[in-house]
Amino acid sequence: SKDLGIQLTEEGVIHHRLALPLSAERASGEALDGQLGTLLKLYREYRRCPDDKFLRKWWENAKRALQFVWRNHDPEGKGVIRDRQFNTYDDAVYELNSFIGSLYLAALRAMEEMALRMGDSATAEECRKRFELGSESVAAECWDGEYFMQPADLETIEGRNYGKGCLSDQVVGQWWAHILRLGHILPSEKVRVALESILKYNWMERMGDFKQNPRVYAGPEDSGLLCCTWPKGGRPKVPILYCDEAWTGIEYQVAGHLIFEGMAERGAEIVRKARRRSNGKLRPGTHPSGVGNPWNEIECGDHYARAMSSYALLLAAQGQDYEGPAGRIAFHPAIGGECHRSFFSAAEGWGSFEQVREGTAQREAVFVAWGRVEARELRFTLPTEARELTESRLLLSGNAIPCAVVLESNVARFALAKPLALAAGDRLLVEMAWRA
């Protein structure tokens, strides 16, 4: 609410630093990744609301922020940004690139979805048009056969750029799109190859074999993911800042993205080794015991916020697709599909989700530990060989819940006859059996 409230100017700029007290002058200016990220966060928060009141409150302000981007960064309406793009690396990149470019594509898709829900067909159509043009341009111009780079003549542009480098953040917008269930915003096969290239070129099994600069976040025996490398040469004389560091916030982002793309074990390996760096027994700390805090993942300061990208690991692993206003609850586990249990949160409650698969039978359980969870539709993924449901039941306290069940590909969709409000202590059971 602060980003689209007190931080938003009449022109549509979202100041990227929140000055305190709130009566202080707003003076930090635009950071384009943050400007686009705010639109993505709005859609994220809307999906976790019980209705559309929150979105209706902030919709016009979100449009103002988007229209600023259109006027100042995409005036030709082609879905690409080629001018100055100040960002989280504390400097600007210039010309077309998939780092800011993918965030823009994801923001266009998110704004399209929100516009449709607000009945704003003109904005939805404009977002769709720019998205389709931009996606085609990024995929064609930035792809080098292995990853998405920055196809610019670095001798003629300003800023700290990465050019032919393999940036770990290169498809961060696609990661956002998966979190928001927007589908692929860039060709799926290229995205997967890009992730494999990030691992191939940026992952250091032993950080002692590399000179970290300007800050050191890993010991010699630690593993880490460098922010950017230049495996094919062409490193700029003044490269993108922090390229030679390893940040857990980016490591968790890449790991979660790998899980979303079906490479769960490779994502889990990044998490295991990134977490090992913060093992309190391996790091000295200020506590009298002499051990470090395993929850303090330092970047530009203690307990740095970027590491909260780790929450998307849960969303990716459980395959959660929740949209509160629509009453849709879906789980498609990417890890532990045979026996899965995880925490979930909803608009007005939280609890746990369980899935057990034995032979051609599958059982789901949605348990509400606190608050309330309203559902109108449930979706669960069966094995790919499932072609026909032979049994499907939805039970609450032993009583069958009236619903229509459809198997679409290998996803079972339960459309409830009327909304179901689950209260704290309720356990909703789903029982299914199928044949190939």
Among 56-65, 76-85, 278-287, 394-403, the range scoring the smallest mean pLDDT is: 278-287
329 shares a domain with 209? no
Are 278 and 251 in contact by the 8 Å Cβ rule? The answer is no
Report whether pLDDT(386) > 70: yes
pLDDT of res. 194: 99
137 assigned to some structural domain: yes
Residue 29 and residue 40 in contact, taking contact as beta carbons nearer than 8 Å? no
What does the pLDDT average to over 420-426? 98
Residues 231, 324, single domain; the answer is no
Domain annotation covers residue 105: yes
Decide if pLDDT at 284 tops 80: no
Residue 308 lies in a domain: no
Same domain, 208 and 341: no
Q: What is the pLDDT at residue 282?
A: 80
User: What is the percent of the chain with per-residue pLDDT over 70, rounded to a whole number?
Assistant: 99
pLDDT greater than 70 at residue 333: yes
Handedness of CA 285, 286, 290, 296 (dihedral sign): negative
The last residue of a domain, from among 202, 224, 246: 246
Say yes or no: 368 and 237 in one domain.
no
Q: What is the pLDDT of residue 177?
A: 99
pLDDT at 345: 98
- Evaluate if residue 287 carries a pLDDT over 70: no
Domain range for residue 406? Answer: 320-435
Assess whether pLDDT exceeds 80 at residue 129. Answer: yes
- Lowest mean pLDDT of 196-210, 278-292, 367-381, 408-422, name the range: 278-292
Residue 271 resides in a domain: no
User: Which of 220, 246, 272 lies at the terminal end of a domain, its last residue?
Assistant: 246
Q: What integer is the mean pLDDT of 152-159?
A: 93
Per the structure, how many domains does the chain have? 2
**Domain stops at, among 230, 246, 262:** 246
Least confident of 14-28, 191-205, 309-323: 14-28
In a domain, 27, yes or no: no
Domain membership of residue 263 (yes or no) is no
Q: Annotate the chain with three-state secondary structure.
A: CCCCCCCECCCCCEECCCCCCCCCCCCCCECHHHHHHHHHHHHHHHHCCCCCHHHHHHHHHHHHHHHHHHHHHCCCCCCCCCCCEECCCCCEECCCCHHHHHHHHHHHHHHHHHHHHCCCHHHHHHHHHHHHHHHHHHHHHCECCCCECCCCCCCCCCCCECCCCEECCCCHHHHHHHHCCCCCCCCHHHHHHHHHHHHHHHEECCHHHCCCECCCCCCCCCCEEECEECCCCCCCCCECCCCECECHHHHHHHHHHHHHCCCHHHHHHHHHHHHHHCCCCCCECCCCCCECCCCCCCECECCCHHHHHHHHHHHHHHCEEEEHHHCEEEECCCCCCCEEEEEEECCCEEEEEEEEEECCEEEEEEEEEEEEEEEEEEEEECCCCCCEEEEEEEEECCEECCEEEEEECCEEEEEEEEEEEEECCCEEEEEEEEEC
Task: Tell whether 148 is covered by a domain.
Answer: yes
Q: Are 326 and 184 found together in one domain?
A: no
Q: Are residues 101 and 238 in the same domain?
A: yes
- pLDDT of residue 206 exceeding 70, the answer is yes
pLDDT at 285: 67
CATH of the domain at 398: 2.60.40
Structural domain includes residue 290 = no
Structure tokens at 248: 């857990």
